Amino acid sequence: MNVSMKSKVSLKSLLDPDLSFAVEPIHAFRYLTEVSDMDTISLASPIEIHRFGHLIERGFEKALPGAIIIMVPEDFKKMNDPDSNSMPDSGLDPVAVAEKLKKARVACIFVTENSNVSDSWSDACQRVELPLLSVEMNDKILTDTLLDLFHLLTAPTQTVHGNMMDLFGVGILILGRSGIGKSECCLDLIMKGHRLVADDSTLLYKNRQGGVTGTASRNFAGCWMEIRGVGIIDVDLLFGIAALRKKKDLHVVVELMDWPDWKGEMKKQGNGRLSSQDLSRFLIREPGDSGDIEGKNLVKSYLGIDIPLIQIPVGPGRSIANLIEVAARKKMLEFSRSRART
């Protein structure tokens, strides 16, 4: 199992539009100052986001190295700046503020809602080579986006040879040998109205809530599928954007097995007949739930987290898509019961 993760993140990588394969990037941002090399600007880890208004109260020297500063339109009224409708006697000189933030080694400043930035403030940031960027987002959306981007760049990740689907809000990873019919099964599910997350190669990463989230790998566009005998198809073009999903939390792993291999697994546990032990392989339970037969609860571990596993034998006349739908409905029922208990 190859698990990778980054320890350092640069400002340039955080603004990389290619991250849109997994999360929404920061759209339509503009550089208000020129900085020579964004790769050399490292962000604090874990990420630190400061509100400019809070730093006014605490002191700009309290800003942490590598922190990101967010300015809202109201902050400009507190600057002692004739171009920004400043409050009388505010005492905040743009040059002095920029120098303090640069001395504190903050990473950059984001100005939200495309606020009008005065020449004196942008000139002050340019003078000390402090990156100043303008975005359309408000401060809440920008903060959430920054957290998601930083987490994606630093979280443990693992690439799996498998397909991922969203069925009724349940994230299902479909595994199996090459040629067993994973993509064909996903195509059946798409035609039933379900949504494709990734085909053939799925990138798993540990999300901010401590679970596992799946998305299409950076090198595999999520809208393409390869079907043997048909070729490569554009899911977006054929079925519409509603048939695609950028990412999904992983809830269940389904492993497609050749019928002889599946029977061999069964014989290891019994006399070849479908016993109670065999039946347990088709019961989707949360890891650690009581009531497992002989304590045998099949799970698949990704990034240190156990995910319920169901093994399905593939054979002539078996509708694998229907069986996976039933597995998803059973998981939905568990979600409903869990919410009812709380």
> Is 200 marked active-site?
yes
Rounded Cα distance between 10 and 237, Å, is: 36
Q: Quick check: is 281 catalytic?
A: yes
Mark whether 182 is an active-site residue.
Answer: yes
* Greatest CA separation for the chain: 88
Strands 170-175 and 163-167: antiparallel
Q: In this structure, which amino acid lies at residue 108? A: C
Note whether 60 and 124 are within 8 A (CB): no
CA 193/CA 149 separation, integer angstroms: 30
Out of 206, 245, 248, 281, which one is annotated catalytic?
281
Q: Are residues 226 and 182 in contact, defined by beta-carbon separation less than 8 angstroms?
A: no
In the chain, the DSSP E strands lie at: 30-31, 49-51, 68-71, 108-111, 132-134, 157-161, 163-167, 170-175, 195-198, 201-206, 212-216, 224-227, 231-234, 247-249, 252-258, 299-302, 305-314
CA atoms within 13 A on the CB side of 329: 6
Sheet holding 30-31, edge to edge: 30-31, 132-134, 108-111, 68-71, 49-51
Tell which residue, 7, 168, 135, has the closest CA to residue 69.
Answer: 135
Q: 124 phi and psi, to 5 degrees? A: -65, -40
Half-sphere exposure of 294 (CA within 13 A, CB side): 11
Which of 81, 139, 182, 194 is an active site residue?
A: 182
Q: Is 16 a catalytic residue?
A: no
Contact at 8 Å (CB) between 282 and 310? yes
Query: How many angstroms separate the CA atoms of 7 and 112, rounded?
Result: 28
Single out the catalytic residue among 200, 236, 258, 292: 200
Catalytic residue among 161, 208, 228, 267: 161
Q: Which residues are tagged catalytic? A: 161, 182, 200, 281
